[in-house]
Amino acid sequence: MHRGWRMRHNLSAVWMVARREFLDQFRDWRIVVPMFVLVTLFPFIADDTTRQAVNFMNRFGGSLILDNLIPFVVLVIGFFPLSFTLVVALESFVGEKERGTIEPLLSSPLEDTHMYLGKLLVGIATPLVFSFASIGIYLMLVSRRDVEFPSAYMLA
């Protein structure tokens, strides 16, 4: 009974830090604007580039390269939002220091692991969600065109 309560208390503390960190992240325009631009504009740019490459390859019969192009672009599109993980992680503690909220946070009854896991959860989950959204937008754009869609095996 005591062990279950402690685990629930630990998860509650981690979620509290994660929720606070998530709200702090979305208040900072230096994180929100580049993420939004990457997620919304980059798939359209990549789709246009892919379309031009497909037309070029079709002119010269390069179907082998074409089969590998779309999964490669999916990889590239998924990578850019994930590169913000480092920015989010650095902003996490530096932002606390800039706002003057790191001292109260460190003097709170939270353990270091609660703070670390809460900030880690948001630092990984937010760019991952943006990455999946960007990949989803690109795959919807590709599926609307007259291009042979790669197999799920190639996309995985």
Chain segment 95-148, per-residue pLDDT in tens: 777 777 777 777 788 888 888 888 889 888 888 999 999 999 998 988 887 766
Which residue type does 12 have? Answer: S
- pTM for the complete prediction? 0.78
49 vs 54: CA distance, rounded Å: 9
**Structural domains in the chain (count):** 1
Q: Which residues constitute the domain of residue 35?
A: 2-155
Residues 6+ apart with CB under 8 A from 35: 81, 84, 126, 127, 130
